[in-house]
Structure 1
Amino acid sequence: MEQGKDLLEPDNITAFRKWLLGNGAKIHPTVYFESHTWGFSVRTRVALQPDTTIVSAPFSFAITAELAGDALEDILGAALRELSERELICTYICMHWVIGEQSLRHFPYLNTLPSPPKLRTPLHFTDNELQAFKGTNLYGATLDRKRQWEAEWQRCRDLIKPINEQWAADLTWDRYLAASTYLSSRAFPSSILSRSPTLSATPSSYPVLLPGIDALNHSRAQPVSWLVTYPDSGSASEEPSISLVLHSAQDAGSELFNNYGPKPNSELILGYGFSLKRNPDDTIVLQLGGTEKKWEVGRDARGLEGVWEQVLHAVQGPEGSSDDGGVESDWQDEMEAANVLQEMTQALLDRLPPFPPAGAVREEIKVMLDHYLEGQRAILRSILEFALDKEGAVIRKAREAGIEIVDDDIQNEESDPL
């Protein structure tokens, strides 16, 4: 693209532009890529008006399970068709590196993505950095994800090995991890490639990659739209396309941002490798012992009512109230439930790791840990306040009825003292 030459963009970006524009994509002429140690940002040389289309790309650019499956079948036969959509896409990405850039289509795109040493998701942490998160939900989620992705990697290699043993050997864990990280950090749900595009995943949707559309970094609540355009029914040469539109004005030289949707820091760190300070979308996942139901609770105890009802139900037991169903036993149940919730929450608070962490931890990992722990503590403290409010409400109702609650015992104020 001629407009980008005076910006001294790296050769891989120049090749990416040429590939995009040569295959029907469109990039706003003022847009340029700025190189950083961690990757690229997208900026504009001049001020942009609201509702500006930044990039448009035909559906054929997307890395979908169908495209990946067809490409893999051409070089490996139909054996890999039994893989999941995620496995197909990750294997397709890896095969670019295994068999060389000339054989598969998306090398110009993959060559612009951050190299593995620049990735900062927890599966790229050092052992000491991961241990700094021990005691949090994120630590367990990281171990679960590693087990899942390693099982996928082994399954893909096992299917390739009888066809080409060297290719299977070259599909290393580091390569599969990088491909999986690109998918977790850049993917859109396949439901976006429909006549009514949506970022809400459905039971039938799966992650897809949209080269060019995914180039912009994240800014929370940035007003953007992804517009899908279908050609007229009489057009045989055109295909559907997707465009990224920014709805706010942009100053000259400013970075242009996408919006990945409301995501807690746990998801941003695990899937993307960054965090937001005092993220209002932070959550914590709670699960009562002996139950399968998981509850996602946000700041200010948002979403906690379901947890409270489950705790209260557990206290009451299968027969309902723990005593004879009278007013006093109802209060006893609520008091006990409030105490149980407080004890559970305090245990979670006590289990959180200290900050700053001990040992060698890179500064950017410390920042993520700090942001994440702030959110977890804020949520847990709001749950404690919720439980204390429930306890206080029970005491007030009891006193209004002439009953004094002292040290978990219910005493009728009108009765004779013992």
Structure 2
Amino acid sequence: MVEQLVKAKGLLKWLQSNGGYFHPSAKLQIDDTTGLSIFAAKPIGPNERLVSCPFDLAVTPETATRAICQVAGLEEENLVWPMGTLGKGEPWNERMRIGAYLGLHWVYQDQTTVEWPSALIHKTYLNSLPDPSTTLMPLYYNPCELELLTGSNLYGAVKDRQKEWFEESAVLRTVLKEDGLTWERYLATSTYMSSRAFPSRLLRLSMEEQSTHQLHKENEVSHPVLLPGVDIFNHARGQPIIWLCSVMAPSPASHPLPCISLVSSSVSDVNTQVFNNYGVKPNEELLLGYGFVLDNNPDDVVVLRLGADGLSPAISKRLEAKNLNIGERFELRRDGEIDRRLLEVMRVMLGEEEEEMDENDEHAMHKKEEKEMKLELDVLETLGGMLEDKLGKLEAGGKLSVDGQVRDQVKKMVSIYRKGQIDILNSAMDTLSERIERVESLIGEGMGECSCCCP
């Protein structure tokens, strides 16, 4: 911990010597619960800049690409998946570009007799970051700890992510011809991006435009960027914070630089921790990407996906006509409400093609209503079966006896995550039971008699 504190102080010194800023009343400190943290040595008022990072120090896919090409003597068009890989010809994604850029720092640190490339400017920043293997993120779980996730969405998600990142790391080594870009190093840089990256749209705020973390449009194209110094603050749910883009000079004699800043929006009293905000995130995302969970997280969800195997062309066409996507992520929340679009998709999948009908034909309209009610019952019962199956797997997974070395913190976090999933599924099933009872009651009552007096 002492070494981490020394490296963090070195980072802030590097940040300030390169045009950045750090509040003089904000002090680095090791906290028993949150580790490396920022505390207020003196009261910090609202609307005070906490930290500023010059745009030039941000690690973006664009700056990473330029540096890789300069160091490796390549053109950007060479940064593609090679022949013989599943993604052959596809450009590298943002994670691969930033991962390669950061990884090259380690490669050249190993080569002490080789001149340091001028394009690699984040050595101090990279060396200040904690060893990700000490985190509690599932990609660093040992096999016994990973088994604790059996029956949950995360169990498969961890394996899928590991496979995806492993393939990406192999591509970097092949294209850049650098054996030093190991899987372990790529896992580390990808972990840093998962847990520390900010959306690039923050760098596109107009100068002097203030923004909360929630202002941006959800459909705005963005990619991950690393902001040295800014990412040193721990995150807290619901913490008010302001983002500000401005041109600032670190000293009267310095040249002004465009910077991205964190600005306080409330008072931080002496000896209280100063936080950034990570926004609304469920425990599944927090555990996979950050390595922690929140007990009774109000933002928790259960993610559902419907299988598309064997889907007929006719059903696919009807879904498309209604602007519905079977591959969509559907979310169940703590309030027990059922995702409306999930029900709409299932009605199309389980129902028949709608026929044109004369609205004046009372008998036909009555039959149509009966048919719709029976379809609704079928949809609700089918969904109930799906949720019951998912609940059973979660409960069974929680009863598994795992032999081997399991950290107490991991066991506790997985238990909190699993309990949240079970609670949400139980709430959703209660809602389904009530709706099924209402529909069955309507069907049992015959929905009224057909006014055409048919038998």
TM-score after normalising by structure 1: 0.85
RMSD: 3.0
Correspondent of 2:22 among 9, 27, 46: 27
> What residue is the counterpart of 1:412 in the other structure?
none
Pick closer, same or farther for the CA change 1:255–1:207 going to 2, 3 Å: same
Pick closer, same or farther for the CA change 1:374–1:52 going to 2, 3 Å: farther
Determine whether 1:301 maps to 2:327.
no
Q: For 1:13 and 1:125, how far apart are their aligned partners in 2?
A: 26
Determine whether 1:268 maps to 2:286.
yes
Q: For 2:62 and 2:380, how far apart are their aligned partners in 1?
A: 52
Q: Quote the offset at 1:278 in angstroms.
A: 1.0
> What residue is the counterpart of 2:193 in the other structure?
183
> What residue is the counterpart of 1:277 in the other structure?
295
Provide Cα deviations, 1:315-360, integer angstroms capped at 9, x if missing partner.
3233479xx7433333222222221111111000001121586333
Determine whether 1:113 maps to 2:158.
no
Determine whether 1:358 maps to 2:402.
yes
Confirm or deny: 8 A CA contact 1:355 1:370 kept in the other structure. no
> What residue is the counterpart of 1:93 in the other structure?
102
Q: For 2:255 and 2:335, how far apart are their aligned partners in 1?
A: 54
Pick closer, same or farther for the CA change 1:361–1:200 going to 2, 3 Å: farther
What does residue range 204-243 of structure 1 map to in structure 2 within 5 Å?
204-230=221-247, 237-243=255-261
Pick closer, same or farther for the CA change 1:240–1:33 going to 2, 3 Å: same
Pick closer, same or farther for the CA change 1:402–1:186 going to 2, 3 Å: closer
Q: For 1:199 and 1:274, how far apart are their aligned partners in 2?
A: 26
Q: For 2:47 and 2:132, how far apart are their aligned partners in 1?
A: 35
Q: For 1:8 and 1:364, how far apart are their aligned partners in 2?
A: 23
What does residue range 14-413 of structure 1 map to in structure 2 within 5 Å?
14-35=9-30, 39-79=35-75, 82=79, 83-100=92-109, 103=117, 104-161=120-177, 168-196=178-206, 204-230=221-247, 237-290=255-308, 291-302=326-337, 304-319=339-354, 325-352=367-394, 353-354=397-398, 358-359=402-403, 360-398=405-443
Q: Quote the offset at 1:120 in angstroms.
A: 1.9
Pick closer, same or farther for the CA change 1:331–1:199 going to 2, 3 Å: closer
Q: Quote the offset at 1:170 in angstroms.
A: 1.5
Q: For 2:40 and 2:247, how far apart are their aligned partners in 1?
A: 28
Pick closer, same or farther for the CA change 1:8–1:127 going to 2, 3 Å: closer
Q: For 2:301 and 2:355, how far apart are their aligned partners in 1?
A: 31
Pick closer, same or farther for the CA change 1:171–1:46 going to 2, 3 Å: same
Q: Secondary structure at the match of 2:261?
A: strand
Provide Cα deviations, 1:133-184, integer angstroms capped at 9, x if missing partner.
12111111111111111111011100111xxxxxx22211111100100011
Gaps of 5+ in 1: 1-6, 162-167, 405-415
Confirm or deny: 8 A CA contact 1:341 1:384 kept in the other structure. no
Q: For 1:199 and 1:212, how far apart are their aligned partners in 2?
A: 22
Provide Cα deviations, 1:263-288, integer angstroms capped at 9, x if missing partner.
11111111111111111111122122
Pick closer, same or farther for the CA change 1:306–1:8 going to 2, 3 Å: closer
Percent pairwise identity = 36
Q: Quote the offset at 1:396 in angstroms.
A: 3.9
Q: For 1:28 and 1:219, how far apart are their aligned partners in 2?
A: 19
Q: Secondary structure at the match of 1:300?
A: coil
What amino acid maps onto 1:294 in structure 2? R
Confirm or deny: 8 A CA contact 2:19 2:257 kept in the other structure. no
Gaps of 5+ in 2: 80-91, 111-115, 309-325, 357-363, 450-454
Provide Cα deviations, 1:67-105, integer angstroms capped at 9, x if missing partner.
212222222112565233221111111111111295432
What amino acid maps onto 1:351 in structure 2? K
